[in-house]
A and B are shown apart, each in its own frame.
Chain A
């Protein structure tokens, strides 16, 4: 087989490819950047199961976050609470298979499920002074920093897709509002078209 064929491809590959050659737009108040191939692992287990929590925590090097909207992170992983028995573990590109194996082995005798879902969602970064306004056009959650501060993440409909919104910087203390969005892969292009529409009044630029 020709080894060069077996390369991953982002659902927005062409969009970001063309952005590489475009001049940066300095007037834009929102910038979109794609991190398409992050490792993603669905971790299932009961939050009230102490043994499960302990073992998972040891493997991941972090205690699992236990409340709605919470996120914990280290150099290696970011763990997003998705439900009382569901976490999304985000890691670097290519690191998901080893993480899955590590978790599966350590949790072999526990009631749990560890599933590589790296291809299920693509990650977009939305940053800029108007990032919150753009999201607020399609998201009914209150994104005010007092309610949705940096370090908070929720899964909710945004525009025409269901996204996980993770606030990395909320605009307080002179930060630039920055959000990571995890979008179902099959809807990535449609979501991008929505984003382009929603961002139009604010100027939206794509960063490769």
Chain B
């Protein structure tokens, strides 16, 4: 085990030196302390080469200290819990944590892909597009090599073992950010009684106060934050969520948060979720999201050992780490001087303070007076070293970063850079807020004009601690007042932190020819790529982004976007605001699909509807299929029979004795009211007002455009009371359709439509023996053909259960649908089965049901596919003359009456041939020939009744084609069959059997 060579003797308030924690990195055993992040623990051990870059496979280290980190992204965990693309700067250390580098092959120190970096001209901006455009075949060659080298991390292949949770919440005020501003806002609004949710992405509250020595009311920033936390915890109306990020801002005050409850543990506590995905409706919000320090580009600025200045300070202050022995500090602002003193006091050698500004600020003068090595008007032009920095080239530069003097090399192993700050405007932008560009900061800040929510603190460009606290109190106070609460802002504490001073912008220092200056570290986008995009005439920043992949990494360009578009603006000779920003999209920081899914997979996510006899079906070999969300048995597996043999048995049972099928899934609507009959006349093509009480009628409904919408049988229970059945598919939409018509189109009609699908269990018995079976089941009901004819109904006890019996047939045999209260559904089913033994009863499923209906030429939505009129189906006569109905006028549209429309026909295959699924009908028996498709099949089955394969289909002018011998071809399946066009009514076309 290695010593923590870069850990200072004392200090670091974020760690507990009494609690060592061991972990592994690329299989090396290392030690850190409780409170460390993986990044701080690696630095403590002097490890700074942590990964290889995305495109060039260049060695990369740790750049930052927070969620903005572009470089240090690792695999964390093993097996099913391995999480790729985890930022080392965010991941908290736990005992036996396993971390490994991504994107290196075969090893981190020796990486073959880095050879690509040497031949770098191969990978300019737009490489993928250019390769793809010149020759798709070249791309195919490149792709397999690129796939291995590119990409970020590997997801685990095992199922995730952890629990994920969703949570909906509502509050008055959501505060994003638990730094000084957010804390102040929460204290003010919380004290006034507002229901507040305060969200902080780090484990501790305090934000920047934890990363540099600051004083509030005579105590350290950290102590003040802890005191504030205690005060907030004492308020029942305030909820503080740490380790939680605001991921997205959406319409209607919806915010999504991701809470990481178990990511800092080896595995979550028993039964506890690893992550919780929150959907919060907040009446108001305050964005106290702070600002992100930005680097200045120079040659080889991606070498391990080049870090953000604030991160170097933060690692010292919070974790007691000196991120190098000898440092060159490079900045365009005064924060570098306070940093230099802190680092020097802790034992770092500060080789030089390179201040890009051409003047000597007050802080610079003081530093010079204290014998610090200050170079004003200078810049770092290049980092020296490969796997880590061992020197910095420094030269005098002008305001635009151009060299104007001799370069000298300073020895150092750390270059700490500060190019100013970019306010974290992401959430404001997501809420459709506009940006304002502040020239003095060279940064976009939220435009308060028209903003939906309040931004406060550093996100507004207020980089001074006292000002942040003041803005936070004011925002919290104003939010409470807007809620109608009695509120006065707390007294402003006195605060001191360091000052930034004047910070004239510097995006990049002129680089030697051939050197790379990185803008976007994660996606390997250099200043040259931006130039190339400009030379190739890319003008829009959105195009720049996609062409160069600037800002498209998992960090979404938090440290790079503004620099990239500033460079683009300079190339175009336009001011930055004229170029604009790319769109800020959720999420602010990446989160896992599992959090989003929340464990709602399979049946937990999408419910399965089960009929009352489901358990019987499952226990008796039922093989289920999904039918509009219902689980329906297709057939019943039987020992010794193939599925087709079993289906044939089921079909033949219906034709020869009797079968029973569970049809509870059909939609059922109760329609009542004085105008119910009139209403049905208007929605069905045929008439229902003439229907006798106790009788049913088959009806077809049209859409407004004249196409067939749905069909079914409606029974008249009383003068003003009907029971409508719909197809399984349309049970929901049919209710919506009818309810819409009643509420919007004909509000004068006095009709109530009530969905009752759930209320009824329905079993259909059909076959020559059905009447005898029903007679046994319902001894008190007269089931004779006279008392209960086709389309008649009866009420009475069936298997001892009160039931409605409808006599109607989908199979072409004598058939009855028996409806009972669903609680008694299984009892009815069992009753039918026990009585059926004497009648050769067989249970059948949807496959046999489909075969039976194809034999009868009944259409379903396979035929009525949304383009089909009643006449196309041969049902033109069902459109009653002398009355109007929905869709009727559309039937006279020219295209719907034109000759040559596709019409419903039957196809019967030659002996022994099988009609392919989804076949086209053609004249030539040639799968490869280019020939006219005369029609297509819609449903096909083997008909055990006829001993042939048959199909329904739609064919141009089909009714005149009966008798034609053609071919059913499926070039996709490579299958064919010789077929004859016939009437769709294959079996008992006169319908004598069902009326018998």
Contact = CB atoms under 8 A, between A and B. Distances in A.
Nearest to A42: B754
B170 A200 contact: no
A120 B610 contact: no
B612 A160 contact: no
A18 B801 CA distance: 27
B670 interface: yes
B165 A137 contact: yes
A190 B827 contact: no
A21 interface: no
A111 B168 CA distance: 41
A115 B670 contact: yes
Contacts of A9: 612, 823-827
Given A144-B170, A201-B271, A5 B827 contact: yes
Contacts, number: 151
A201 B752 contact: no
Contacts of A190: 603-604, 607-610
A1 B612 contact: no
B927 interface: no
B620 interface: no
Q: Report which residue of A117, A118, A141, A185 has the largest number of chain B beta carbons within 10 angstroms of its beta carbon.
A: A185
B611 A186 contact: yes
B166 A6 contact: no
Interface string A74-113: 0000000000011000000000000000000000000111
A115 B756 contact: yes
Interface stretch (A55-63, A171-179, A191-199): A191-199
Interface string B147-191: 000000000000000010111111000000000000000000000
A2 B822 CA distance: 19
B672 interface: yes
A200 B800 CA distance: 42
Given A6-B831, A8-B824, A160-B605, A138 B758 contact: no
User: Which of A11, A119, A193, A198 has most B Cβ within 10 Å?
Assistant: A119
A161 interface: yes
Contacts of B166: 137-138
Contacts of B599: 197
A119 B758 contact: yes
Contact of A121 (B168, B609, B758, B831): B758
B754 A139 contact: no
Contacts of A145: none
B281 interface: yes
B347 interface: no
A113 B759 contact: no
A73 interface: no
A1 B799 contact: yes
A190 B602 CA distance: 10
B900 interface: no
Interface in A125-141: 133, 136-141
A184 B612 contact: no
Interface in A149-174: 159-161
Contacts of A11: 610, 612
B942 interface: no
B241 to A, nearest CB: 14
A55 to B, nearest CB: 16
Given A6-B800, A160-B607, A193-B604, A36 B823 contact: yes
Interface in B597-628: 598-600, 603-612, 615
A77 B759 CA distance: 20
A10 interface: yes
Given A120-B758, A142-B170, A160-B605, A113 B673 contact: yes
B543 interface: no
Contacts of B759: 115-120
B785 interface: no
B948 interface: no
A119 B823 contact: yes
A186 B610 contact: yes
Contacts of B756: 115, 117, 120
A153 B801 CA distance: 33
Nearest to A117: B759
Given A5-B831, A140-B279, A113 B750 contact: no
Contacts of A197: 599-600, 604
A115 B754 CA distance: 9
Nearest to B163: A200
Interface in B260-278: 271-273
A171 B526 CA distance: 59
Nearest to B760: A119
Given A6-B799, A137-B168, A185 B822 contact: yes
Interface residues of B, number: 54
A203 interface: yes
Contact of B758 (A14, A85, A159, A185): A185
B823 A160 contact: no
Given A111-B674, A137-B167, A197-B599, A118 B610 contact: no
A193 B272 CA distance: 18
A127 B825 CA distance: 30
Contacts of A7: 824, 827
Interface string B717-758: 000010000000000000000000000000000101010101
A8 B827 contact: yes
Contacts of A160: 600, 603-607
Given A1-B831, A136-B169, A203-B271, A119 B603 contact: no
Contacts of A117: 756, 758-759
B632 to A, nearest CB: 11
B752 A136 contact: no
A190 B777 CA distance: 33
Q: Identify the interface centre among B169, B605, B759, B801: most chain A CB within 10 Å of its CB.
A: B759
A115 B821 CA distance: 12
B827 to A, nearest CB: 5
Contacts of A159: 604
A169 B600 CA distance: 28
Contacts of B721: 113
Given A115-B670, A119-B823, A201-B163, A186 B758 contact: yes
Contacts of A193: 603-604
Contacts of B831: 1, 5-6
Contacts of B583: none
A47 to B, nearest CB: 13
Contacts of A72: none
Given A115-B756, A201-B273, A203-B271, A187 B607 contact: yes
Nearest to A144: B170
A198 B670 CA distance: 35
A18 to B, nearest CB: 14
A53 interface: no
A86 B271 CA distance: 41
A3 interface: yes
A135 to B, nearest CB: 9
Contacts of A133: 167
Interface in A5-47: 5-11, 14, 36-37, 42, 44
B598 to A, nearest CB: 8
Contacts of A208: none
Nearest to B605: A160
Nearest to A188: B610
B832 to A, nearest CB: 10
Interface of A: 1-3, 5-11, 14, 36-37, 42, 44, 85-86, 111-113, 115-121, 133, 136-142, 144, 147, 159-161, 184-191, 193-194, 197-198, 200-201, 203
28 contacts: A1-B777, A5-B799, A5-B800, A5-B834, A6-B801, A6-B824, A8-B823, A37-B823, A113-B721, A118-B821, A119-B822, A120-B758, A136-B169, A138-B166, A139-B168, A141-B168, A142-B170, A142-B281, A147-B170, A160-B600, A160-B603, A186-B610, A187-B610, A189-B610, A190-B603, A194-B607, A201-B271, A201-B273
What 10 pairs across the A-B complex have the smallest Cβ distances? A190-B607, A8-B823, A119-B822, A186-B609, A120-B758, A113-B672, A6-B800, A160-B607, A142-B170, A44-B752
